[in-house]
């Protein structure tokens, strides 16, 4: 068991080392999970529909669609039976009738990991007092600005983001990148484009290993990590949506998005090198702009079963929401891989709408 724990610690560091190529796949992938139970319930098909404080993540252009002077968004989720914790908080404010800004913070981390690299002392004795714990966590700080164009229905915005990644006392990195997005409404149709890491995002890794840890690496034939640079290539998300008024009480919003990754062939529905395309779609049925039912499907992947037959798997999502007097509570039941029922997670998010004066509450558009 002790050896297994030591291997786990070493693998965490090795995963960082092997990511130090010029443009590794899945770099800063924690920023692809999504925020807000409304969006997750619609399988992240949200770049055209988003119109609230979560726009800072999905498409900053949507910040100009807020119906309140201020908005605050919060979310907490846990994955892998609570081992990994995912937290999000955001604040957005209208500057004037044509512009807005927002601040978003994301953390994805695993805490209380046993550090057993020093379990055995210099005399070869097992000393459990030498066992400590550490966290592996990724942080993102986003600063957003959006503005309405003079062309009716056109909005645009951008994010400046700072990324901090930490592996206990062993390693950390700082990164910087820029995202840009646009939205355009034409009658009941909605169009959106979000380009993440448009300038390419760079993470500079630095390592701080004690001599004892280096000795463990050498004894287990592991490569000693060195300071290096990790690159995240641009990713574009194109969305098309439509809102339909069914009756005076019911309305329906549907959206389909296409994610264009540029970091090489991925296991998605449409594979290519260097561009792969991952489609996902979602719908939201609203009643009196107060109660919402959401469904989505995405994460299409090609797999081979035990009989060596090829098939396509997918990820279904479900969500509900309620909004009353400026408070929106959303829930999503999301499967992160569709390989096991145990991977389903319950996700809750809150949004608070605040006006400088006590005006009537905002509603989803």
Which of left, alpha, beta for 306 (phi over 0: left; psi -120 to 50: alpha)? alpha
> What does the pLDDT read at residue 104?
97
111 part of a folded domain: yes
Which of residues 122 and 35 earns the better pLDDT score?
A: 35
76 part of a folded domain: yes
> What does the pLDDT read at residue 127?
72
Q: Greatest CA separation found in the chain? A: 79
Q: Determine contact, residues 93/68, Cβ cutoff 8 Å.
A: no
Measured in residues, the chain has a length of 365
Determine the straight-line distance between the first and last CA of the chain, rounded to whole angstroms.
Answer: 55
Give residue 115's domain range.
Answer: 2-354
Which of residues 234 and 112 earns the better pLDDT score?
A: 234
280 exposed, middle or buried (CB, 10 Å; 0-12, 13-18, 19+)? Answer: buried
How many CB atoms are located within 10 Å of the residue 235 CB?
19
CATH of the domain at 350: 2.40.160.40
Average pLDDT taken over every residue of the chain: 84
* pLDDT band at residue 228 using 50, 70 and 90 as cut-offs: confident
331 part of a folded domain: yes
Cβ neighbours for 122, distance < 8 A, ≥ 6 positions apart: none
195 bridge partner residues? 180, 236
Phi, psi dihedral angles at 88 (to 5 degrees): -145, 140
Q: Where are the beta strands (DSSP E) in the chain?
A: 70-79, 84-94, 99-115, 132-148, 154-167, 171-186, 189-196, 201-207, 228-232, 235-245, 250-261, 276-287, 291-304, 310-324, 327-335, 344-354
Report d(CA 349, CA 337) in Å as an integer.
21
| Residue entry with tokens 């969006």 | 39
223 part of a folded domain: yes
What pLDDT digit, counting tens, does each position of 43-85 carry? 999 999 999 999 999 999 999 999 899 999 999 988 877 788 9
Q: Determine contact, residues 42/255, Cβ cutoff 8 Å.
A: yes
- DSSP for residue 361: P
| Bridging pattern class, strands 291-304 and 276-287 | antiparallel
| Residue entry with tokens 């957005």 | 92
pTM: 0.83
* pLDDT band at residue 12 using 50, 70 and 90 as cut-offs: very low
Across 311-338, average pLDDT:
86
363 part of a folded domain: no
- DSSP for residue 335: E
What pLDDT digit, counting tens, does each position of 153-210 carry? 999 999 999 999 998 888 889 999 999 999 999 988 999 999 999 989 988 888 887 7
Please report, for residues 7, 230, 299, 345, the alpha-carbon distance to residue 85 in angstroms, rounded to integers and kept in the order given.
22, 24, 21, 11
Q: Determine contact, residues 159/178, Cβ cutoff 8 Å.
A: yes
Which of residues 123 and 184 earns the better pLDDT score?
A: 184
362 part of a folded domain: no
At 151 the three-state DSSP class reads coil
361 part of a folded domain: no
Q: Determine contact, residues 146/182, Cβ cutoff 8 Å.
A: no
87 part of a folded domain: yes
> What does the pLDDT read at residue 171?
86
- DSSP for residue 340: -
Q: How many domains does the chain contain in total? A: 1
Task: Using the predicted structure, report yes or no on whether residue 17 has a pLDDT greater than 80.
Answer: no
Task: Using the predicted structure, report yes or no on whether residue 305 has a pLDDT greater than 80.
Answer: no
């Amino acid at each position: 068991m002790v050896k297994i724990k030591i291997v786990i610690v070493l693998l965490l560091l090795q995963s960082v080392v092997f990511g130090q190529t010029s443009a590794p796949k899945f770099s800063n992938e924690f920023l692809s999970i999504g925020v807000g139970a409304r969006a997750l319930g619609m399988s992240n098909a949200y770049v055209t529909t988003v119109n609230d404080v979560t726009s800072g993540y999905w498409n900053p252009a949507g910040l100009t669609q807020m119906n309140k002077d201020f908005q605050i968004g919060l979310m907490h989720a846990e994955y892998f039976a609570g081992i990994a914790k995912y937290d999000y908080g955001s604040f957005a404010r209208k500057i004037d009738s044509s512009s807005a800004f927002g601040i978003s913070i994301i953390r994805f981390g695993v805490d209380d990991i046993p550090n057993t690299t020093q379990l055995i002392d210099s005399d070869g004795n097992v000393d459990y007092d030498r066992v400590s714990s550490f966290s592996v966590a990724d942080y993102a700080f986003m600063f957003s600005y959006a503005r309405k164009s003079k062309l009716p229905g056109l909005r645009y915005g951008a994010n400046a983001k700072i990324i901090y990644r930490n592996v206990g006392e062993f390693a950390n990195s700082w990164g910087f990148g820029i995202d840009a997005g646009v939205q355009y409404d034409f009658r009941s149709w909605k169009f959106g484009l979000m380009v993440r890491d448009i300038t390419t995002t760079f993470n500079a890794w630095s390592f701080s290993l004690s001599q004892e840890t280096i000795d463990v690496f050498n004894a287990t034939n592991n490569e000693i990590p060195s300071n290096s640079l990790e690159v995240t290539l641009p990713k574009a998300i194109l969305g098309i949506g439509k809102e339909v008024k069914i009756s005076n009480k019911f309305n329906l919003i549907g959206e389909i998005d296409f994610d264009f990754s540029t970091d090489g062939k991925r296991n998605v529905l449409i594979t290519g090198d260097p561009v792969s395309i991952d489609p996902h779609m979602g719908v939201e049925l609203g009643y009196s702009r107060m109660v919402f039912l959401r469904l989505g499907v995405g994460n299409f992947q090609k797999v081979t079963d035990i009989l060596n037959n090829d098939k396509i798997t997918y990820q279904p999502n479900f969500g509900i929401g309620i909004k009353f007097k400026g408070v929106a509570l959303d829930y999503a039941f999301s499967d992160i891989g569709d390989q096991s029922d145990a991977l389903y997670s319950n996700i809750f998010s809150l949004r608070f709408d605040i006006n400088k004066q006590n005006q009537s509450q905002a509603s989803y558009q």
